[in-house]
Structure 1
Amino acid sequence: MTNGNGSPPDDAQLPQLNVMVQYTKDLSFENPNAPRSLGPQQQQPAINIQINVGANAIAEQDYEVTLSIEGKAEIDNTVLFNFELAYAGVFRIQNVPPENLHPVVMIECPRLLFPFAREIIATAVRDGGFPPLLLDPVDFVGLYRQNLANQATQQQPS
């Protein structure tokens, strides 16, 4: 592809998304009813998962994005285990039009973080004495749209 005058396009103008660093901000795993909860169970536990994304600008082109995942497994109102993970990354975003910046930060950045967070949770649950909990892929576009709709509803006068 050329820029119209026969020379290759200027890479400096192409949109760029770079992961500068990623890290665990907070991790908690609780097994409050061990060792009783580790024995054979008569039924499958009910597992409830909540996922949130937060972001803040830390420099002109750098954003810290935090993927927060909380989960709990219960049988008959008895907690088998629960966990909380805040997994974050710093992303450098360049040459993205302003109208596309928010979706990039809130959709693409957590999409890049998710596989690592999924592995941390699976390992923590396994190390807690249970089979690894393998989270299903997350529809970050749907989550983004849902959050926008919730914000619009909250801003409407009652």
Structure 2
Amino acid sequence: MSDAPSSPIPPNGPSNGQQQAMPLQLNIQYTKDLSFEVPGAPEIFVNLREQPRVDLTLDVQARPVEGQQNVYEVSLQIRADAKVQETSCFIAELVYCGVFTVNIPQEHLEPVLLVECPRLLFPFARNILADVTRDGGFPPVLLAPIDFVALWQSRRGGQQVGTA
């Protein structure tokens, strides 16, 4: 006989022979592609008299990782194109990715992949873009927070219009 008191619930939660899977797990994050170009260097630095206008485009993509169940690569694609009048100052392109394990019902998969996952990646991508533009000789591009819900909803609206 054991002297230890018995507990109706094991210390690590209920045991049914398998561990409970986390609904969302970030396995790894990485820079997949990074490009920074100053087409008019070095003249642009001598002639630059005003703050460049920066046009930003952002896209989010998700795809299953081949051979893995419930594992997806989510990529945040950001392009910053800076100009003064019509003169290009710099072009920065970043593809920042994360590999996520997602254990949720299928009907919730799309918003998790296209809203929650990029929300986790965004602060790191924002920092990389700020660093590369600053290191390139320009004021850092500081991205404002992104409303990934609105981005996802506008994307769905565009798809629904096209398929209806």
Q: Answer whether TM exceeds 0.5 for this pair.
A: yes
What SS class does the counterpart of residue 39 from structure 1 fall into? Answer: helix
Query: Judging changes above 3 Å, is the alpha-carbon distance between structure 1 residues 21 and 14 closer, same or farther for their aligned structure 2 residues?
Result: closer
Spell out the pairing of 1:14-53 with structure 2 (5 A cutoff).
16-39=23-46, 41-53=48-60
C-alpha distance in structure 1 between counterparts of 2:80 and 2:59, whole Å:
12
C-alpha distance in structure 2 between counterparts of 1:23 and 1:155, whole Å:
34
- 1:150 paired residue among 149, 153, 158: 158
C-alpha distance in structure 2 between counterparts of 1:15 and 1:150, whole Å:
32
- Deviations along 1:93-128, one digit per CA (max 9) or x if unpaired, are 12x222111100110101111111111111110111
C-alpha distance in structure 2 between counterparts of 1:16 and 1:154, whole Å:
32
TM-score normalized by the length of structure 2: 0.83
Cα deviation, residue 136, structure 1? 0.7
Cα deviation, residue 26, structure 1? 0.7
Cα deviation, residue 64, structure 1? 0.5
Give the aligned partner of residue 80 of structure 2. Answer: 71
- Deviations along 1:59-105, one digit per CA (max 9) or x if unpaired, are 221110011001111011100101111111100112x2221111001
* 1:126 pairs with 2:126: no
C-alpha distance in structure 2 between counterparts of 1:54 and 1:134, whole Å:
22
C-alpha distance in structure 2 between counterparts of 1:124 and 1:39, whole Å:
20
* 1:107 pairs with 2:148: no
Number of matched residues? 150
C-alpha distance in structure 2 between counterparts of 1:9 and 1:38, whole Å:
62
C-alpha distance in structure 2 between counterparts of 1:74 and 1:114, whole Å:
24
Unaligned runs of 5+ in 1: 1-5
Query: Judging changes above 3 Å, is the alpha-carbon distance between structure 1 residues 107 and 155 closer, same or farther for their aligned structure 2 residues?
Result: same
C-alpha distance in structure 2 between counterparts of 1:108 and 1:39, whole Å:
43
Cα RMSD for the two superposed structures: 2.0
C-alpha distance in structure 1 between counterparts of 2:26 and 2:14, whole Å:
22
Identity value in percent = 43
TM-score normalized by the length of structure 1: 0.86
